Amino acid sequence: MRHLISPLDFSVEELDKLINLAYDIKDNPAKYAHTCDGRILATCFYEPSTRTRLSFESAMLRLGGKTLGFASADSSSAAKGESVSDTISVISGYADICAMRHPKEGAPLVASIHSTIPVINAGDGGHQHPTQTLTDLLTIHSLNGEIKNLTIGLCGDLKFGRTVHSLITALVRYENIKFILISPEELKVPSYIRQLLIDKNIPFEEVVTLDDSMSKLDILYMTRVQRERFFNEEDYLRMKDFYILDKAKMALAKENMLVLHPLPRVNEISVEVDNDPRAAYFKQAKFGVYIRMALILTLLEIEV
Ligand code: CP
């Protein structure tokens, strides 16, 4: 039995297979419409979510399966003090696969140790978000044609942004990827991510200004400042509008640069950018369904 806890749980070859499966699902939905008949996905979300939880549910429903779960810690017995390990021991008897989001780093890993069904990390604190990374890889592959020879700018809250940590962790295994890490001093990537880049000899620079980097980028990955991870509101308010991508900034970029964002956005991308053909974040959210369908089939070992 396999779980998905870290983006490194799948090799590049396995990711290629997953991406190809996602394409086939997208092109031939009827072929997959009953592949999960009789199977149940549990979504155990101890933290708010729109895309991840609903795209997982949409994925399972589109495969013919059913879903159950909870959308907040308050509406589960966590509110009465139940541990993650006890909860997953119980859920293992109710469902065939579980997607779990939790504010504590490592909680889905703990769940996987106590589970008898596959556990998917749907985001653990400020740590990792591997299924967002699968979504991002499919988006890059689909819109760029390949995942190599890219200069990728990651901009915003690189300290607490788990999607950034997972994406960098996955991308260091691809050919000729360079990173420009754009953040305020206080929100730079954690040292373990910086060390990973150094250890793998991946070219990267850390800068504060977005404008100076725009013309170099093939992909700009914007992120929101993660209010829920800040220790005080004052710091959040000081940081929240540090970067705002608008038409004037987009004018500095390559004609074929892609703008990605895991969403939700707050102010960091002006709505005036939404109609720019380079704005790919809503397409990205849709790709999340296909790749999660591919992931469910793969973890349940269902061959089509
Ligand atoms: N991208 C993402 O994780 O969005 P949600 O928080 O809405 O699931």
pLDDT value at position 154? 98
Marked catalytic residue, from 51, 127, 141, 165: 51
Question: Is residue 52 lining ligand 1, measured as CB closer than 6 Å?
Answer: yes
- Please tell me the distance between residue 132's alpha carbon and the centre of ligand 1 in angstroms: 8
Q: Which atom of ligand 1 is nearest to the CA of 262?
A: 1
- Please tell me the distance between residue 80's alpha carbon and the centre of ligand 1 in angstroms: 26
Q: Which atom of ligand 1 is nearest to the CA of 263?
A: 1
194 carries an active-site annotation: no
Q: For residues 96 and 119, give the distance between their C-alpha atoms in angstroms, rounded to a whole number.
A: 10
Q: In the CATH scheme, what is the code of domain 7-127+288-299?
A: 3.40.50.1370
- Please tell me the distance between residue 201's alpha carbon and the centre of ligand 1 in angstroms: 31
Helix axes 281-299, 51-62, angle to 10 degrees: 50
101 carries an active-site annotation: yes
51 carries an active-site annotation: yes
Q: Which fold has domain 130-285?
A: Rossmann fold (3.40.50)
pTM of the model: 0.96
Marked catalytic residue, from 3, 39, 53, 101: 101
Which residue ranges make up each domain of the chain? Answer: 7-127+288-299, 130-285
- Please tell me the distance between residue 264's alpha carbon and the centre of ligand 1 in angstroms: 6
Q: Which atom of ligand 1 is nearest to the CA of 52?
A: 8
What digits encode the pLDDT tens for the residues 214-228?
Answer: 999 999 999 999 888
What digits encode the pLDDT tens for the residues 40-87?
Answer: 999 999 999 999 999 999 999 999 999 999 999 999 999 999 999 999
Fold match, 7-127+288-299 / 130-285: yes
Marked catalytic residue, from 39, 53, 127, 129: 129
pLDDT value at position 235? 84
Nearest alpha carbon, ligand 1 atom 6: 49
- Report CA-CA distances (Å) from 178 to 39, 84, 168, 200, 206: 41, 38, 10, 12, 12
Cβ distance 304 to 278 under 8 Å? no
Q: For residues 182 and 123, give the distance between their C-alpha atoms in angstroms, rounded to a whole number.
A: 22
80 carries an active-site annotation: yes
pLDDT value at position 262? 98
- Rounded to 5 degrees, φ, ψ at 152 are -115, 125
Question: What are the per-10-residue average pLDDT scores of the chain (304 residues)?
Answer: 97 98 98 98 98 98 98 97 98 98 98 98 96 98 97 97 97 98 96 98 98 98 90 86 96 98 97 98 98 98 95
The b-or-e profile of 54-90 (16+ CB within 10 A means b, else e) is bbbbbbbbbbebebebbbebeebebeeeeebeebbee
